Chain A
Amino acid sequence: MTTKSKTMRVFEGLLESPLNSLVEQASADGRIPIGYSCSFVPEALLMADRLFPVRLRAPGIAGTEIADNYLSNFICSYARSLLEFAMDDRFDLIQGWVFVPSCAHMQRLYDNLEYLKKPAFSHILDVPRKVNEVTTVWLAEELRMLADRLSSHFGVDMSDGSLMKAISEWNSFADVIQSIGDLRKRPDPPITGTEFHALLMTSLASPKDLILPTILDFRTEIEKRDGIKNYRARLLMVGGHLHDPEFIHVIESQGGLVVADRLCTGFIPGLKPIEMSGDPIRTLAEHSFKKTLCPRMMEDFDRRLTTIIETAKEYNVDGVVIEIIKFCDLWGIDSMPLVSALRKEGIPVLKLEREYRMGSEGQLRTRVQAFIESMGK
C-alpha cells in the first residue's frame, strides 16, 4: 500500500476535530457555518452567499454519558455522540442547525437538542419517504421555507441567482472529487479506500473553496503514483454514516481494497452534478431525492439494490461490505433482504454491525480476514 503523503496528513489533521481550522478561518472571515447531519440536506443550498455547510461529526468521542441519560443507550451512537458534543460546546462555531427526521434517532436528537440547548437557529426539513411529482413539489416547498428562514435570520442572499451560483460551485467541486473517485475503477487504483474516505470526509467538514486547493494538489500527486497491486480483494462499502477512515483502514490492512462506496458520506450516487436549468429550488429537491439511497425511502429498495449491483460491476468488485451502526432499524432491517438479494446475484457479502466511534478492531480484522478468505482470495 502507499505511504502517507503530505496532503493526506493535512486531511487527517482537518478531521481530528468537529470544527477544523478551515471552519475557524471562514468563520473569522464573517462566513456562517451551518451544521447538518443528513444527506437529504442539499449542501449547495447551504453554500449560498456567506453560508457554508459543515457535516456534523464527533471525532474522537470518548463516551456519551450525558446523551445516554437523555436519548438512552438504545439510540444510534452517532445521534448520541452529536448530542454529547453539543452539550460539551464542541460545535460552538456552528450558527445554524438543519435536521431531517430521516429516522426516529435524528428526530429525537433534534427534540433533545431543542430541550437541552436550543440553538439560535435550527430547522427541520420534512423530507417525504417516497418520490413522485407531489412529494417533489412538497420537498421544494420545504427547501424554499428553509431558504427563506436562512435569509431572514442571517440576512443572506438566497435569491435564484445566488442559489444558481452556489449550485455551480458545488458542481465544480463535486466534479473534482468525482474525477478522483473514477480513478478507483482502474485495475490498479492509485488511491486506497482509506485515503479517498479521508478526502471525502474533509470535503464534507470544511468550506469547499478553502479545501479545494489541497484536493487539487492531492489529485496531481496521485496522478503520478503507481497503482496499488498488492491487494487481495476489491471491496464495495455499503451503509449509512461512516466518518472515521480508520474503519476502512482496518479493512484494508487485511488485504481488502475499498474501491467504491455507497455510504451516506460516500460518493455513490451523491456526487452526481445538479441540473443547472429551471428553478434552482426545484432542481435541488429533485437532486436530493436522486443522490440519496437511504432505506428510509420506502419505495427505493430496488433502486438501492440495482445501484449496488451496477456499482459492483462497474468497479469490478469482489465482495460487498455492509456496515451498520448498531440500533439503526432502517439499515438493520433493510440489509436483511439486501444481503439475500446480493447473494442471489452471486456477490459475496459481509455484514458488520458497529458503533459510531472506532472500536473492536481485533474482531473487525478477524471478520474481514475470514470474509476475504471465504472468497478464495
Chain B
Amino acid sequence: MTVSAANAKSLFMRLPGQVKGFLRNSLAGYILESKNLKDSLIYAKYWALIWAVILKFVIRLLFKRGPIGIIRVLVGYPWILHLLRVTGLMRRLSRGRSGLYLKSICMTIYTIAFTLAENLEDVFYHPDLLIINEEMVPPDIARAMGLKVWLLEAMGILLPILAAQSDLKYIDEAENAGINPDACSLPKATVGMVLKGHMPKGIAMVSSNMPCDAGMASYSLIHREHGTPIYRLDVPSNFYNERADKLFADDLKGMIAWLEEHTPGRMDWDRLKEICEGRNRMLELELELWDMIRMKPAPLAAEAVFLSHMWHFNLFAGYKLSIKHFESLVAMARKNLTAGIPATKNERYRAVLWNPPFPHFIDIFNKSERAYGVTLINDSMTYHHHAPIDTSTPDTMLRGLANTIMQGPMVRHTRGPAENYLDDIFRMYRQFNLDMVWVANHVGCKSGQAMNGILREKCRGMKIPLLILDYDLLDPRIVSQDGMMNQVEFFMENVMKAQRLDQ
C-alpha cells in the first residue's frame, strides 16, 4: 500500500470518531445531552449570538478588504482560524452547568468573542493608530489618547484556551531560534509569533518590567524584530510607599509624552476620566460579586468569575459592554442567592487557584467540579484589590492608575517581600471561606516555584490543604491533561479523602 493510500485509509477510519465528536460538541449535541429546555435555549441563544459576531466580522472584512484581503489576513494571521472554535469552548465549559450559572459562563464567552472581534477590527482597519502593549500595561491611557491597542501576549493565552496545542509551533519556533527552553512559555509563544511574522507591528510599542524577567527580556528581541519605537515602564520592586507611587506616576507621564511624540495620539483627559470611572464601576461591581460568592454555596463561580476578570479588566476596562457584563453577573448572582440556588449543585470543596490558570486545560475545573464537587471560587489573577481611581484631576488619575498597575495580580506577587505573595493567599482563604488552595505550578515561573517551600510549610502549619499542580502554562507536552487530572485525583482522594460524584 502506498503512503498516500495508507493516509487516506487512516483518515477514513478516524472519520466516524471525528463526526461523533463534532456532533457531540455541536449545538444539536448539546440539546440532546442537556434534556433541559431552558438550558438548551440559553445555550442556543449564545451560540447564535457568537456566530452572528463571527459572521458580521467576516462580512465586514469581505466588504472592506475583499476576498484577496481575507486571504491576506489568513496568511498573515493564520491563528485567526482557531478563533472559530469559540463555541467549542462554550460547549466544554457548559458541561454539567445549568440555569444562571450556565448563562453566566455562556455570556462570558460571548462577550469575549464580541470584544475580540472589535479589537481585531482595530488591528485591520486602523494600523495607523495601532500601538502594541505588553500584557501588563493596561490600554486605558492609550485609548484615552485615541489610539488602538493590541496586547501582544493576549493570543498566546487565548489560543490554547480554544485549542490546547495551538501555541506549540510558536514555542518551537522560539526555541529553535535560541530562546532558553526553560523560560516561561508565554514569552516563548509570543516571540515565536513575532518571529513568524504572525503579530501586528503597530506604530509604537509599550513594554514594561512586568510581570517577570522572561517577559521583560523578550522585548529586546521583539523590539529588534519589529523595529518600531518602544517605551518601557519600570515598576519598582518595593512599591507600597509614596516614593514609588510618585516614581511610577512620573513614568506614566513620560509614557504619555512619548506616545504624543511618536504617534498621532493626543491625551484627552475627559476621555481618560470616563475610562477610569468605568473601571471604578467594574471594580465596584466585582467587589459586590465577591461579596456574594463568599456565601456557601456560591451563587456563581469558576469561569464566570475568573475569565470575566482576566479578559475585561485587562483588555477592556471601562468599556460599556464590560460594565454591562459585570452588571449582569451581579444580577445573576443576586438572583441565585435570593432563590437559594447554588452555582454547583454539589459544592463540596471551595478552592482558590494561585498563579496563572491552565489555558491549555481550561476545563480542568469543570471536570473537577463534576467529579468531586470542587468549586473554583476565585483566583490570584482576579484578586486585584486596590482603591478606586480618584478622577478629580489628571494627577490623581495617573496616581490611581499607577497604583492599579503596581498592585495588579502577578505584578504585586512577583515584587517586594514574600509577604506580597503569601498574605494574599491566606487573606483569600479567609475572605472566601475556602477549603483548599491550588497552586498552578507553572514550570517556567521561577518566582512562583521558589515560593513553594515556604508556602507548603505555612499551609501545613495552618492546616490548609494545598495542591501544587505541576504543569506548563501553554505547553501540554510538559505535563499532559491526563497528567494534570491525575494530580487532582491523587490529591482529592488521598489528601481530601473525597468520593467521586460521577461514578
Contact = CB atoms under 8 A, between A and B. Distances in A.
Interface residues of A, number: 49
A353 interface: yes
A112 B209 contact: no
- For B177, B213, B237, B415, the residue with the greatest tally of chain A CB atoms inside 10 Å of its CB is B213
A128 B250 CA distance: 14
Contact of B234 (A115, A129, A337): A129
A269 interface: no
A126 B237 contact: yes
B236 A128 contact: yes
A134 interface: yes
Contacts of B415: 101, 107
A47 B236 CA distance: 27
B346 interface: no
A173 B170 CA distance: 50
A329 B184 contact: yes
Interface in B78-119: none
A333 B182 CA distance: 10
A328 B243 CA distance: 30
Interface string A316-327: 000000001011
Contacts of B183: 329, 332-333
Interface in A325-366: 326-330, 332-337, 339-341, 351, 353
A101 B234 CA distance: 13
Contact of A141 (B243, B414, B418, B453): B243
Interface string A173-193: 000000000000000000000
Interface in A116-155: 124, 126, 128-130, 134-135, 138, 141
A18 B494 CA distance: 44
A290 B405 CA distance: 29
A129 B418 contact: no
A324 B243 CA distance: 35
B179 A298 contact: no
B449 interface: yes
B232 interface: yes
Interface string A289-303: 000000110110100
B214 A329 contact: yes
B414 A104 contact: yes
A128 B214 CA distance: 17
Contacts of B446: 72, 74-76, 104-105, 108, 327, 329
A41 interface: no
B470 to A, nearest CB: 11
B443 A74 contact: yes
B58 interface: no
A298 B216 contact: yes
Interface in A235-270: none
A333 B220 contact: yes
Given A107-B447, A111-B450, A135 B218 contact: no
B212 interface: yes
B267 interface: no
Contacts of A328: 180
B217 A134 contact: no
A101 B217 CA distance: 15
A138 B219 contact: no
A14 interface: no
Contact of B180 (A69, A134, A135, A324): A324
A114 interface: yes
B447 A295 contact: no
A200 interface: no
B483 interface: no
Nearest to B211: A104
B331 interface: no
A353 B238 CA distance: 31
A329 B212 CA distance: 9
Given A71-B450, A75-B446, A75-B450, A114 B217 contact: no
B207 interface: yes
B220 A74 contact: no
- B interface bracket (residues with beta carbon within 8 Å of A): 35 or more
A276 B363 CA distance: 63
A114 B179 contact: no
A69 B468 CA distance: 14
B461 interface: no
Interface in A60-116: 69-72, 74-76, 101, 103-105, 107-109, 111-112, 114-115
B209 A298 contact: yes
B247 interface: yes
Contact of A72 (B184, B224, B236, B450): B450
A177 B452 CA distance: 43
Nearest to A71: B450
Contact of A329 (B180, B417, B451): B180
Contact of A296 (B213, B221, B238, B247): B213
B454 A336 contact: no
A103 B449 CA distance: 14
B178 A298 contact: no
B373 interface: no
Contact of B237 (A69, A101, A295, A301): A101
A25 to B, nearest CB: 35
Given A326-B182, A329-B184, A332-B182, A108 B213 contact: no
A124 B237 contact: yes
B456 to A, nearest CB: 9
B156 interface: no
A327 B214 CA distance: 10
B247 A330 contact: no
**What 5 A-B pairs have minimum CB-CB distances, sorted nearest first?**
A332-B180, A70-B453, A108-B450, A111-B418, A333-B217
11 contacts: A70-B452, A104-B212, A111-B418, A112-B453, A298-B216, A329-B182, A329-B184, A329-B213, A333-B213, A335-B178, A336-B221
